[in-house]
Amino acid sequence: MIQNPILKGFNPDPSICRVGDDYYIATSTFEWFPGVQIHHSKDLKNWKVIAHPLNRISQLDMKGVPDSCGVWAPCLSYKNGIFYLVYTNVKSFDGVWKDTPNYVVTTNDILGEWSDPIYLTSAGFDGSFFHDDDNSTWYTNMLVDHRNGKFFGGIELQKYDTDEKKLVGEIFYLTSGTNLGFTEGPHLYKKNGYYYLILAEGGTEYGHAETVMRSKNITGPYEAHPQNPILTARNSPEYELQKAGHASLVETQNGDWYVVFLVSRPLSVQGRCILGRETAIEEIIWKEDWPYLNSGSSLPRLEIPLPNLIEVSFQENSEREDFDSEILPIDFQTLRIPLTEDWISLTENPGFLRLKGKESLTSTHTQALVARRLEHFKAEITTSVRFEPLKFQHLAGLILYYNTGHYHYLHITKSGGQKVLSIVSCCNYKMIEQKEIITVSGIEEVFLRATINYDRLQFRFSKDGSNFEKIGEKLDMSILSDDYVRDESERYRPAFTGCLVGLCCQDLATNSRYADFDWFEYKISDC
């Protein structure tokens, strides 16, 4: 059986593509660099991250972009030996105006270098390519309409010239969607002479859904599926998989059809989702030239039968990273900026990850922070750090991070002339410092640990690597979720990511004091 979700932790907006016997899913990364996660599978069950294609500033300049902006809803497709990746690099989204430039990059080797971007349009977001059987390529996107607070303006279509590398010809307006509204995430497919337009509707929260329309002509008119939405959890609030929608279809080499889509797993009924929006999969069957879930329901299942494909598993990632390589593991990403020697090094002190302190955790420009996704409700994260702060403006340690206004941070700093351990949290953009401070002066290596148990977080520390003691009170993990940030913020802020756990260093005086991390360990916990 395939267990849902197939991509755990912050991996939303899946776009699936098959090339021969290989399956690839691209997912959104927002402000995390490099941009776009590409996952690979042979059997639709076992997946592994293999690439981050947007790894140069020439492809993805995100310095200064607000929280939850950056890379939205990539679309991965393949035509005549070339992979195409369409993506939005959102520059602003707070207020009436939305700045949403869209680009496409290409490669003939999905593991190799991708091209510099070709600009498409800024008229909306969720751009998608469809390659028709007459060798033409078409581009769809949702239209942003700022007039009178409308925002969701419907779905547009325009031809893309793969030789001229630009959008050409007339722009066609396809649909304003169904009565669910919030119409976005368009993808086009063709089967048995029909063009199928699948749409994410109802908003990406608990009303989320996937709808389908079809037409004999690519430019329309489009008629709605008789049983829309074909995929949703909006009517089953107590179900384990919520927010189902933003889908992408694929046909296997055996002629079977599947759909991948985002879901979330709340801590309580329609509560907070600390793992963010994840990716799940379902079977599709066709009846009277309409797609349906094979379950006979619109509700995604927790598990589905393994497809008629040979199962191919991947080696599990090691729980512990010793930083012995000169390359950072692929499951780590950075905030907005690429890895450069002016702030990070795996060679200056071999066997250690060196972070050179930069700007504060409030910065949207230059933070010395590396992190990986939280994928489990119960986890234990531990690291070893060597850091000698000279003043209170020097900090380094272990962080659980949602955005610039929501995190929990166990760190070493200077206080009262002593080297100390301290905890600072940020909730709704307000700083909260715990009262307990532990002196660690004279100790070269300090061990830091975060123990997560659903909505509870307990920090611990050790001076010898064996005996760990609690520091501070239990903290609320649930503030590190889309739901908390969106619901509790004093004004609207985009909130579409998830919790990442990692390492960081700040030097608020000279941007130069460094910390050395010997190893990082992520374990599924039985706490």
Active-site annotation, residues: 13, 184
Tokens of 453: 């148990």
Is 335 strand, coil or helix? strand
User: Nearest CA to 370 among 340, 330, 335, 336?
Assistant: 335
Phi-psi region of 96 (alpha: psi -120 to 50; beta: other; left: phi over 0): alpha
Tell me the pairing of strands 209-215 and 194-201: antiparallel
Tokens of 260: 């991948």
Q: CA 505, 508, 513 angle in degrees (round to 5)?
A: 50
Tell me the pairing of strands 353-356 and 344-345: antiparallel
| CB 502, CB 332: distance < 8 Å | yes
Give CA–CA dist 311/361, Å, rounded: 43
| CB 480, CB 402: distance < 8 Å | yes
Q: Which residue has the tokens 């700093």?
A: 413
DSSP E strand boundaries for 238-277 = 242-251, 257-264
Amino acid of residue 36: V
| CB 249, CB 243: distance < 8 Å | no
Burial of 211 (0-12, 13-18, 19+ CB in 10 A): buried
DSSP E strand boundaries for 252-348 = 257-264, 278-287, 290-293, 303-304, 320-321, 333-335, 344-345
| CA quadruple 272, 401, 393, 353: dihedral, nearest 10 | 160
Is 6 strand, coil or helix? coil
Give the rounded distance of the alpha carbon of 19 from its chain centre: 23
Which DSSP category does 359 fall into?
S
Q: Across the beta sheet with 37-41, what order do the strands follow?
A: 15-19, 22-27, 37-41, 48-51
Q: Across the beta sheet with 290-293, what order do the strands follow?
A: 242-251, 257-264, 278-287, 290-293
